[in-house]
Amino acid sequence: MVHVKLEDIWKIYKEKKKTVEVLRGINLEIEKRDFVVILGPSGEGKTTILRIIAGLLKQDKGHVYLRGKLADDMSPKDRNIAMVPQNYAVYPFMNVFDNIAFPLKIEHVPKEEIRKRVLEVAEMLKIDNLLDRKPSQLSGGQLQRVAIARALVKNADIILMDEPLSNLDAQVRVLAREELKELQQKLGPTIIYVTHDQAEALSLATKLALLHDGKIQAYGDPLELYRQPNNSWVASFLGNPAMNLIRSEIVGEKIEFNGQAIPLPEKFKGIIKSNKVILGIRPENIEISQDGDIEGVVELVEELGSFTITHVRVGNDIIKVIDKAFIKREKGERVKLKFDYSRIELFDAESGVNLMIKNG
């Protein structure tokens, strides 16, 4: 069942004489119990989307549906949505207990019931020993738990999270991700989580939405989006380093670029109509090998311990290769590249659309 639906949502901010179209037709269907992560660089409108879903901000165009019902005129209170805001927004003068209890107090839930529910979620998040402390006496990780507890205490079946882990140290963050995943599986709310952090998005999402230029550029299974990006923007955004994108031309049964060529992989034969394409291949799907068919010169070597990223110049392009074996390479060294043909993607040179998805 579609639990949250955004239909052609537009948001335009007007500042003095400037108008900024932040959201330009957002469409998104979120199923019950999905853990949807919206990934996008800072300033792309992630917080704006969450505030519109929560009813804290009104869209200029389009509709929000919650649990199958049109929600455009519903007040935030009636939407039964909990939100963990970007900066946690805990009240510094209240102790942890009162902070968690706050959403229930304003809804006039009886005192005994409040006590029971606060203790329940505090225990679940392992902060039941901190209930008397003030926020200033907590670590970043503890504060984040308080903010999540306050969202959970309402028993809302839709929870919005605005970069909730971004203030934590790298180590704590990985643990917090795991806990968050477990918590969602146990309690089963629908979570809409926004972040600019790719690793976080790939590891948390059951469905990943990529936000760019006011639109959702791609939406689906995170690994599928990674393996077969639907357009060249997605390819250039996902992955670290991202997919190599090389302007190429299809000539007969060959893909040519920079005066060199590789055979056109079987899967594309008879499908590709345009001859100006962008060849996409991930750095982990290229090997530096004697029997490679592309020649290049090593331009830069990034030694990162467990693997090495080698930047190889091929004509006008720099092709990045991830070497897992530890091989010492020198700048200026001549090498041959061997592409894993089965992992090549081709994008239309103009529209950037993945030609396999478009025609396949």
- Interacting residues toward ligand ADP by CB under 6 A: 13, 15, 20, 22, 40, 42-48
To ligand ADP, the closest distance from the beta carbon of 42 in angstroms equals 4
- The nearer residue to Mg ion, 45 or 280, going by C-beta atoms, is 45
112 binds, among ligand ADP, Mg ion, none (CB under 5 to 8 A by kind): none
To Mg ion, the closest distance from the beta carbon of 9 in angstroms equals 16
d(CA 140, CA 171): 12
To ligand ADP, the closest distance from the beta carbon of 16 in angstroms equals 10
Residue 253: count other Cβ atoms within 10 Å of its Cβ: 12
Residues 6 or more apart in contact with residue 214 via CB below 8 angstroms? 21, 22, 23, 24, 25, 26, 44, 45
To ligand ADP, the closest distance from the beta carbon of 41 in angstroms equals 7
To ligand ADP, the closest distance from the beta carbon of 198 in angstroms equals 14
- The nearer residue to ligand ADP, 24 or 33, going by C-beta atoms, is 24
75 torsion bin: left (phi>0), alpha (psi -120 to 50), beta (else): beta
Q: Do residues 251 and 61 touch, judged by C-beta distance below 8 A?
A: no
44 binds, among ligand ADP, Mg ion, none (CB under 5 to 8 A by kind): ligand ADP
Q: Is 165 helix (H, G, I), strand (E, B) or coil?
A: coil
22 binds, among ligand ADP, Mg ion, none (CB under 5 to 8 A by kind): ligand ADP
d(CA 49, CA 345): 32
CA 139 from centroid of its chain's CA atoms: 26
- The nearer residue to Mg ion, 3 or 46, going by C-beta atoms, is 46
Residue 2: count other Cβ atoms within 10 Å of its Cβ: 14
To ligand ADP, the closest distance from the beta carbon of 15 in angstroms equals 5
The CB-nearest residue to Mg ion is 47
Q: Do residues 342 and 286 touch, judged by C-beta distance below 8 A?
A: no
- The nearer residue to Mg ion, 44 or 348, going by C-beta atoms, is 44
48 binds, among ligand ADP, Mg ion, none (CB under 5 to 8 A by kind): ligand ADP
Q: Which residue has the tokens 């079946």?
A: 157
For residue 267 the two structure tokens come to 């899967």
7 to 46, contacts with Mg ion by CB under 5 A? 46
| 298-306 long-range contacts, CB within 8 A, separation 24+ | 298/329, 298/330, 298/331, 298/332, 298/333, 298/334, 298/335, 299/331, 300/331, 301/329, 301/330, 301/331
- The nearer residue to Mg ion, 46 or 154, going by C-beta atoms, is 46
Q: In angstroms, how far is the first alpha carbon of the chain from the final one?
A: 29
- The nearer residue to Mg ion, 46 or 173, going by C-beta atoms, is 46
Of positions 3, 36, 40, 47, contacts Mg ion by CB under 5 A: 47
132 to 161, contacts with Mg ion by CB under 5 A? none
To ligand ADP, the closest distance from the beta carbon of 211 in angstroms equals 7
- The nearer residue to ligand ADP, 56 or 172, going by C-beta atoms, is 56
Query: What is the binding site for Mg ion (CB under 5 A)?
Result: 46-47
